[in-house]
Amino acid sequence: MAITKINGSITTPQGFKAAGLHAGIKKEDKDLGLIYSIKPASAAAAYTLNAIQAAPLSVTKDSIEIEGKIQAVIANSGNANACTGKKGREDAYDMRKATADLLHIPEHHVAVASTGVIGQPLPLEHILTGIDKLEPEATEAAARQFSEAILTTDTFAKSTCYTAEIGGKTVTLAGTAKGSGMIKPNMATMLAFLTTDAEIEPDALKLVLKKAIDQTFNCITVDGDTSTNDMVLVMANGLAGNESLTPDHEDWHIFAELVRTACEDLAKLIARDGEGATKLIEVDVQGAQNDTEAIQIAKSVVGSSLVKTAVYGSDANWGRIIAAVGYSGAAVNPETIDTSIGEIQMLQDSQPVAFSEEEATAYLQNDTIHISIDLKIGSGKGKAWGCDLTYDYVRINASYRS
């Protein structure tokens, strides 16, 4: 498909600016960021499925519901503004208003996102003072400042950028994300923001985002916990000048692939940067009853603490893989399962195959580990991504608040 990865960031699509700075929520790192589009952009978002949702999510929903358009995102790290009650909602609305005032745009054109510790009141004064200092720019450096400002226990900033010809115009789509802990199928403590200059109506944008998320962000797991603050948001400001994208547009599938691929890149970066992780694990399932069950099995394997610790220890423990297949809840034939780690086959028709332990251990020392499983009962296929479970995961999370 005619999509091309390019060096770029959320300010690469036309008309987008960004900023990030240290407002004083964290001790020293950047903790407040802004994305701004020079014209109102179609917007779509997906939110955590946790029944306890942080205040900023309801504020963002409020904003997007009115016109399906936003022009700015204000995001902070260091404090999730979750379980903060009425005061937390007021604080989130105050963040929205201050940002709207700064940019001279309507309040409902601002989305709000927060990530960090749960249940502490937001240090609103620091945030409001910080907002006043934000000076969005259309530079790579400014985009990077935003990407850094949303990090919590992440060890690196995450971004990706793609371009494609759509209806004779060059459309660019970029994204940035933060992840780390509480990452699990069906969103995670993750924030992801996508910017594009494509012309597309909000409803069509929502459609394409939902489908992309199901195959990407909803297929990653770090520790099985789902946070109160997850949000994936896309802004499309139309500056590329293409004919508005709908499912009937001849290049619809190209745009869908642009969104899906950017989401997959960010999802894999989040999995690779799971708390304490040293390796990205990719589980590839085929031959399942259907695609949904293939993904279910892939998630079960990549989410198994025993598989994760075995990968950390470079132990080719396929027994734990097949056990996780077995308890996934998906249909399996216990007699027909093939399993490989990398190119090394370990199970054929559910029976152990002789393999070189040395070769397997050597392969498991790579920083990306592929596990493939063929159930041979149908044509369903799917993937999921995760990371190993390490001493550092325990260290980080046994002392997160301190």
Contacts with a copy of itself by CB under 8 A lie at: 49-53, 80, 82-85, 117-120, 181-182, 223-228, 303-306, 309-310, 312-313, 315, 317-320, 322-328, 331-332, 334, 337, 347, 350-352, 389-391, 393-395, 397-402
Which tokens belong to 72?
């700015």
189, 216, 261, 390: the active-site residue: 189
**Structural contact between residues 116 and 151, judged by C-beta atoms closer than 8 angstroms:** no
Strand duo 368-374 + 280-288: pairing = parallel
Give Rg (Cα) of the chain: 21
Nearest distance, CB of residue 62 and a copy of itself, angstroms: 17
DSSP string, 269-305: HHHHTSTT---EEEEEEEEESSHHHHHHHHHHHHH-H
Strands 158-166 and 169-178: antiparallel
> Residue 386's beta-bridge partner residues?
281
What gap in Å lies between CA 8 and CA 140, rounded to an integer? 7
Task: Considering the complex, state which of residue 241 and residue 326 has its C-beta at the smaller distance from a copy of itself.
Answer: 326
Residue 123 CB, shortest distance to a copy of itself, in Å, is 15
Min CB(296)–a copy of itself separation in Å = 12
- Residue closer to a copy of itself (CB basis): 65 or 398: 398
CB closer to a copy of itself, 204 vs 297: 297
In the complex, the smallest distance separating the C-beta of residue 289 from a copy of itself, rounded to whole angstroms, is 12
- Assign 3-class secondary structure to 178-231: ECCCCECCCCECCEEEEEECCCECHHHHHHHHHHHHHHCHHHECCCCCCCCCCE
Nearer to a copy of itself, 247 or 352 (CB): 352
User: What angle do the packed helices 85-103 and 55-67 form, to 10 degrees?
Assistant: 50
49 in Cβ contact with 227 (< 8 Å): no
- Pairing outcome for strands 380-387 and 280-288: antiparallel
Minimum CB separation from a copy of itself for residue 26, in Å? 17
**DSSP assignment string, 234-275:** EEE--TT-PPPB-TTSTTHHHHHHHHHHHHHHHHHHHHHTST
Q: Is 195 a catalytic residue?
A: no
Nearer to a copy of itself, 156 or 400 (CB): 400
CB environment 100-131: b (16+ within 10 A), e (fewer): bebbebebbbbbbbbbbebebebbbebbbebb
Query: What are the percentages of helix, strand and coil residues in the chain, rounded to 5?
Result: 35, 30, 35
Question: Helix 85-103 and helix 124-133: axis angle, to 10°?
Answer: 10
Q: Which is nearer to a copy of itself, 140 or 359 (CB)?
A: 359
The CB-of-73 to a copy of itself minimum distance in angstroms stands at 23
For the bound state, the minimum distance from the C-beta of residue 355 to a copy of itself, rounded and expressed in Å, comes to: 12
Toward a copy of itself, which CB reaches closer, 165 or 392? 392
Q: Please give the helix or strand (H or E) that residue 393 lies within, else none.
A: helix 391-397
Cα–Cα distances (Å) from 128 to 26, 145, 171, in that order, read: 15, 18, 35
At its nearest, how many Å lie between a copy of itself and the CB of residue 119? 5
Closer CB to a copy of itself, 4 or 361, in the complex? 361
Report the C-alpha gap between 200 and 42 in whole angstroms. Answer: 7
Active site residues: 189
